[in-house]
């Protein structure tokens, strides 16, 4: 089998297969972000939702990723009925500055729900009779479907910070939720924003064959390991935290 030659983009240095450090880049503070792994358990093999970032994107172009994006201020201010479970909130607080409020941590989980709604058109929520309101058009469109974010059933499974020497850096929390909270047809994604292309439900084996960022590949392994546990135990299981120190990866458990 002929191996595909990986060529470093102009102005970058290879650090590992398929991963590059941008040269002559000043230190950039990572922005808070979150992503959502939606697990669909139909059939013998579970599937996860992934999409391909467009070639025009400056951050991870052409890579397959989970839906997600940056934390918005509105996510921190949103008023909803449910809270993240105590074990999940406890893990989110670890290795976090004291100045980071619980509203911000909860907002990261809400951002994952909102970004998934925007990027895929899927509504991840629980039916409610409460008439929730928001001044934000995206959140109001979500609430108009008669749902609320299932925060109490969302798991926090990993945190990763983009390596240094990158012009765009993110401090990303990875959340996970199961398909019982897909409010709409899981195959209906025509209302997606177009930010993610080639949206597909993939088995873990299928996903591993794609062009993935290194952290995404690792998170797929984490998802597989987590699903071996009882649902209640999953919410209590540790979450790996990956960042870089002196250009070397450092991992601790939250």
Q: Give the model confidence (pLDDT) of 171-180 as tens digits.
A: 999 999 999 9
Dist CA 72 CA 113 (whole Å): 12
Whether residue 30 lies inside any domain: the answer is no
User: Is the Cα dihedral 179, 152, 121, 229 positive or negative?
Assistant: negative
Q: Give the CATH number of the domain where residue 177 resides.
A: 3.90.79.10
User: Is 231 among the domain residues?
Assistant: yes
SS3 state of residue 38: strand
In terms of Cα–Cα distance, which of 180, 162, 172 is closest to 36? 172
- Residue 15, in any domain of the structure: no
Q: What is the pLDDT of residues 67-126, one digit of tens each?
A: 999 999 999 999 998 999 999 999 999 999 888 899 999 999 999 999 999 999 899 999
In a domain, 41, yes or no: no
Confidence at residue 193, expressed as pLDDT on a 0 to 100 scale: 52
Please tell me the least confidently modeled range out of 33-47, 57-71, 122-136.
57-71
Full residue range of the structural domain in which residue 76 is found: 52-253
Total count of domains within the chain: 1
- Rounded to two decimals, what is the model's pTM? 0.84
> Does residue 10 form part of some domain?
no
Percent of the chain scored above 90 by pLDDT? 59
Structural domain includes residue 147: yes
Specify the pLDDT at position 244. 83
């Amino acid at each position: 089998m002929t191996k595909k030659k990986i060529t470093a983009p102009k102005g970058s240095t290879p650090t590992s297969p398929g991963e590059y450090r941008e040269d002559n880049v000043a230190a950039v503070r990572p922005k808070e972000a979150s992503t959502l792994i939606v697990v669909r358990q139909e059939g013998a093999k579970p599937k996860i939702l992934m999409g391909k970032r467009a070639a025009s994107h400056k951050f991870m172009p052409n890579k397959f990723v989970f839906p997600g994006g940056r934390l918005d201020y509105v996510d921190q201010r949103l008023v909803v009925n449910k809270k993240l479970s105590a074990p999940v909130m406890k893990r989110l607080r670890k290795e976090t500055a004291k100045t980071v409020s619980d509203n911000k941590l909860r907002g990261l989980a809400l951002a994952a729900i909102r970004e998934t709604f925007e990027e895929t058109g899927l509504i991840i929520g629980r039916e409610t009779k409460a008439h929730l309101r928001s001044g934000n058009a995206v959140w109001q469109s979500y609430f108009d479907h008669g749902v609320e974010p299932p925060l109490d059933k969302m798991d926090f499974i990993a945190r990763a910070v983009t390596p240094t020497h990158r012009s765009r850096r993110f401090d990303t929390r990875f959340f996970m939720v199961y398909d019982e909270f897909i409010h709409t047809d899981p195959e209906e994604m025509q209302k997606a924003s177009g930010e993610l292309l080639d949206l597909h439900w993939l088995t873990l084996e299928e996903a591993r064959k794609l062009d993935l960022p290194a952290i995404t590949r690792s998170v797929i392994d984490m998802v597989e390991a987590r699903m071996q546990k009882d649902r209640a135990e999953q919410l209590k299981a540790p979450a790996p935290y990956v960042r870089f120190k002196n250009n070397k990866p450092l991992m601790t458990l939250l």
